[in-house]
Each structure stands twice: as structure tokens, then as C-alpha cells.
């Protein structure tokens, strides 16, 4: 059975500070795609569109969804942080993606920004990392993406613990803001001290948001393979019909 996984993209408008000035882009780091392909899933890039009916066509044709990371985040703390200020077009698009995808009960994996999007969709909020935590949560630009910075502790009462049967592990990290208030229908399931590192949906069959990047971890630590195998299993229509 072919398993199709929708993947959200990063949006550049071709502005001076963007990757390719004067050339608007929608793109995604290929590691997401390579990882899905490696585990027998077929990625489908979902273009940012304001056409809700067209988006519905895309989502009706996929078996799962990955909300990717990426996007500029202000380096200085702000009184009120929201992803809406780190790419308004992408924010509005991914909000609509979640609005349409959640009722379909397809598995949803949010990575880094993707986890924060899930949290904001459910009414949660973000804060800037304090000076205490910033050095071990934001990898310097140019650092290897599999460079691990800190430990996480996983709640034994979680879907994450079911597929990752180890309470503590070291992960990579590329964020300057973090989930401060958890949204409705979500629960925190992993932490680095007081910083939330993973959330799960309490009213959804399989919804996992991770503040770190497992797509860069599984090749050096094969225990993370279980996460993508679980995504595949829950996205497989034949598996769900058994």
C-alpha cells in the first residue's frame, strides 16, 4: 500500500534577506524527504495556497502530515511571541492545514516550528528562552545538524515512550523560543529541565510535536527509527483496517 505524507514548506518571498533575492521560493530541507522515503513513505510537498478547496484536495490524498521546522525567529526577547510574526503567510497557511487535517484523524508530526504551530493552533503560547537555557538549546549556525546539545526526559505515560522505550536521551536543538503555555487538547510529554521538548494530542489518534529534529538523529541512534516506523504504521490504511 502506498503511503503519502504531506509535508509543509518554508516560504521566502525573494526579499533581500532571503536565500535567493528577487526569486520567491517554497522549499524544504531535503532531510525530511530523505527520511520519509527511507522508511517507505512518499512525501508530498503541500504548496502554500489560499485556495481552501485546493488544499482540501491535497489533504484528502495524503495519509499523514509533517509540519516542518525552519523560519526566522527574532533573536531579542519580545513581550509577546507568536509564530505569526515569523512568517505571516506560512503561519496562516499552516493554521488552515491543521484546521482541515485534524478532523481527518491522520497522524500529524510537528518538528521544531511544527510543534509550536500545533501548540498555537490549540491556543497555547510561546516565550523566549532565558539566558540560562539559550546556550544549550540553540545550536550555532553552521553546526552539524546531528550535534546533540542537551538531554530530554520522556514521560512514561506517552505515545513517545511507547515507541522510544528509554527515559532519557540527548537531542539536537535549534530554537530560541519555547512552549510556555500548553494548548487545549495537548499535554507535555518530554522536558529539558523546565523547557517542554515534546507535546502530544489528547483527542487525536496520533499527534506528536517535537522541539528537536529526529530526522537528523536516527542515522546515528537507531532507536529514533521507531518514531518514523510508528508514523508509517498509523498512516498505513491497511494497518488501521486490521
Q: What is the pLDDT of residues 124-147, one digit of tens each?
A: 999 887 766 666 666 666 678 788
DSSP string, the chain: ---EEEEE-EEE---TTSSSTTS-EEE--HHHHHHHHHTT-EEEEE---S-HHHHHHHHHT-SEEEE-------SS--SSB-GGGG-HHHHHHHHHHHHHHGGGT--EEEETHHHHHHHHHTT-EEEEPPTTTGGGTBPPTTS-TT---EEEEE-SSSHHHHHS--SEEEE--B-SEEEEEPPTTEEEEEEETTEEEEEEESSSSSEEEESS-GGGTTTT-GGGHHHHHHHHHHH-HHHHT-
Question: What is the domain count for the chain?
Answer: 1
Query: Per residue in 215-231, pLDDT tens?
Result: 999 999 888 999 999 99
Mean pLDDT of the chain: 88
Query: Per residue in 4-31, pLDDT tens?
Result: 999 999 988 888 877 888 999 999 999 9
Quote the domain boundaries for residue 206.
4-240
List the CATH number of the domain containing 205.
Answer: 3.40.50.880
- pTM equals 0.92
Amino acid at each position: 500500500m502506498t503511503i503519502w505524507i504531506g509535508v509543509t514548506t518554508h516560504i521566502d518571498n525573494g526579499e533581500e534577506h532571503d536565500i535567493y533575492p528577487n526569486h520567491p521560493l517554497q522549499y524544504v530541507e531535503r532531510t525530511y524527504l530523505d527520511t520519509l522515503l527511507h522508511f517507505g513513505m512518499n512525501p508530498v510537498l503541500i504548496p502554500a495556497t489560499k485556495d481552501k478547496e485546493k488544499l482540501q484536495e491535497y489533504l484528502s490524498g495524503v495519509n499523514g502530515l509533517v509540519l516542518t521546522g525552519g523560519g526566522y525567529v527574532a533573536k531579542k526577547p519580545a513581550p509577546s511571541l507568536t509564530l505569526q510574526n515569523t512568517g505571516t503567510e506560512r503561519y496562516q497557511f499552516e493554521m488552515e492545514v491543521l484546521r482541515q487535517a485534524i478532523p481527518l484523524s491522520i497522524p500529524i508530526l510537528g518538528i521544531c516550528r511544527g510543534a509550536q504551530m500545533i501548540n498555537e493552533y490549540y491556543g497555547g503560547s510561546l516565550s523566549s528562552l532565558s539566558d540560562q537555557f539559550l546556550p544549550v538549546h540553540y545550536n550555532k549556525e553552521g553546526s552539524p545538524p546531528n550535534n546533540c546539545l542537551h538531554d530530554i526526559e520522556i514521560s512514561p505515560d506517552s505515545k513517545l515512550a511507547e515507541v522510544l522505550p528509554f527515559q532519557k536521551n540527548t537531542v539536537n536543538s535549534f530554537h530560541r523560543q519555547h512552549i510556555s503555555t500548553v494548548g487545549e487538547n495537548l499535554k507535555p510529554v518530554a522536558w529539558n529541565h523546565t523547557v517542554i521538548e515534546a507535546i502530544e494530542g489528547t483527542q487525536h489518534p496520533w499527534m506528536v510535536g517535537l522541539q528537536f529534529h529526529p530526522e537528523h538523529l536516527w542515522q546515528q541512534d537507531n532507536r529514533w527509527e521507531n518514531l518514523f516506523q510508528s508514523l508509517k504504521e498509523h498512516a498505513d490504511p491497511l494497518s488501521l483496517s486490521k
